Amino acid sequence: MEPHFQRVTIIGVGLIGGSLALDLKEKGIAAEIVGVGRSRENLELALSRGIINRFEPDPESGVKDADLVVLASPVGAIIPLGKRIIPHLKKGALLTDVGSVKSPIVRELEAALKPGLAFVPGHPLAGAEKGGAGAARAGLFAGNRVILTPTPRTDPAAVTQIRRLWEKVGSQVFELDPEAHDLILAAVSHLPHAVSASLVQSVCRRFSGEEVRRTGAGSFRDLSRVSASPPELWRDILSLNREPMLEILADFRKRLSELEAYIKEGKPEKILEFFSEAKKYRDAL
């Protein structure tokens, strides 16, 4: 059975929410899309681009009679927004999110659910440095992966609906436990951003911008690229994913200390071994 919703409300019509809205309309998954957000200017842009059919000034009115509500706001706002709208959702409504941290969101929103509602937590692995409705584009999720993190409390039929929705827009969908999601994402997504920001801090506090521009190699450009991401995003992610991130940072610090010791103690064979092992792991990916 193909997924179809008469009315879909998207809270946060940015890159992810806006791109999903375009796909839902293009694929015939939604008859009407209502946008909700903090910026009227952004919502008017979304309306002018045909991303949404209309917008509402507040979340409570925005979710009225919605069959599906997508929480696509910045991750730090998902829990308070979810708690705010849940009392206003109609019976049988389906709620999902696109947050890049799952455990606290799942814990808080499952506890706030009322009978007759289903919440399916999700995380599309897609994005870009630019945001807002102006960056939204159809096909963003085609070929990309989406992680769903249901729990024993999640309605299996609702999981199937959300899975089919993402598959319909071209995504490859798989499931993880919320805690497992947060730990692996801390390692493969959140740590690289933390390392990138630390690298830029280390280099640019020591050398002038002109020195960096004149001598900066491609490796510095590649590693520093993601540090241009919105600072507020990483404030929220690292705050929400605190314990997994601390665990991964401790392991990373251990590896960096090993390399530092090899350099300090003059052990070229250990340095070679360190980089050879890293290359072997990377090549296997």
Cβ(227)–Cβ(196) below 8 Å? yes
Q: What is the CATH number of the domain that holds 212?
A: 1.10.3660.10
Last residue in a domain, options 154, 176, 198: 176
219 and 92 within one domain:
no
Domain range for 191: 180-284
Last residue in a domain, options 176, 198, 231: 176
Number of domains in the chain: 2
For position 271, what pLDDT does the model report? Answer: 97
Last residue in a domain, options 133, 150, 176: 176
For position 67, what pLDDT does the model report? Answer: 97
H or E segment to which residue 191 belongs: helix 191-206
Decide which of 96 and 135 is more confident. Answer: 96
Helices assigned H by DSSP within 49-189:
59-62, 75-85, 103-112, 156-168, 178-185
For position 156, what pLDDT does the model report? Answer: 96
State the pairing for strand pair 122-124/145-148.
antiparallel
225 and 140 within one domain:
no
186 and 261 within one domain:
yes
For position 212, what pLDDT does the model report? Answer: 84
Q: What is the CATH number of the domain that holds 102?
A: 3.40.50.720
For position 82, what pLDDT does the model report? Answer: 97
pLDDT tens, residue by residue, 26-38 = 999 999 999 999 9
pLDDT tens, residue by residue, 5-15 = 999 999 999 99
CA distance 283 to 211: 33
193 and 162 within one domain:
no
118 and 69 within one domain:
yes
158 and 192 within one domain:
no
206 and 158 within one domain:
no
For position 215, what pLDDT does the model report? Answer: 82
Which residue pairs, CB below 8 angstroms and at least 24 apart, start in 49-54? Answer: 49/133, 49/134, 49/136, 50/22, 50/25, 51/13, 51/18, 51/21, 51/22, 51/25, 51/133, 51/136, 52/10, 52/13, 52/21
134 and 108 within one domain:
yes
Cβ(70)–Cβ(98) below 8 Å? yes
pLDDT surpasses 80 at 216:
no
Mean pLDDT (the chain) is 94
pLDDT band with cut points at 50, 70 and 90 for residue 129: low
80 and 14 within one domain:
yes
pLDDT band with cut points at 50, 70 and 90 for residue 53: very high
Decide which of 4 and 9 is more confident. Answer: 9
> Considering the chain, what percentage of its residues have pLDDT values greater than 90?
84
Q: What number is the average pLDDT over the span 101-119?
A: 96
pLDDT tens, residue by residue, 147-159 = 999 999 999 999 9
pLDDT surpasses 60 at 99:
yes
pLDDT tens, residue by residue, 236-280 = 999 999 999 999 999 999 999 999 999 999 999 999 999 999 999
Q: What number is the average pLDDT over the span 9-24?
A: 96
CA distance 170 to 20: 11
pLDDT band with cut points at 50, 70 and 90 for residue 1: low
For position 253, what pLDDT does the model report? Answer: 97
274 and 193 within one domain:
yes
Q: What number is the average pLDDT over the span 174-187?
A: 97
146 and 38 within one domain:
yes
Instruction: Walk across the sheet containing 94-97 and list its strands.
Output: 54-56, 30-36, 5-11, 68-71, 94-97, 118-120
50 and 170 within one domain:
yes
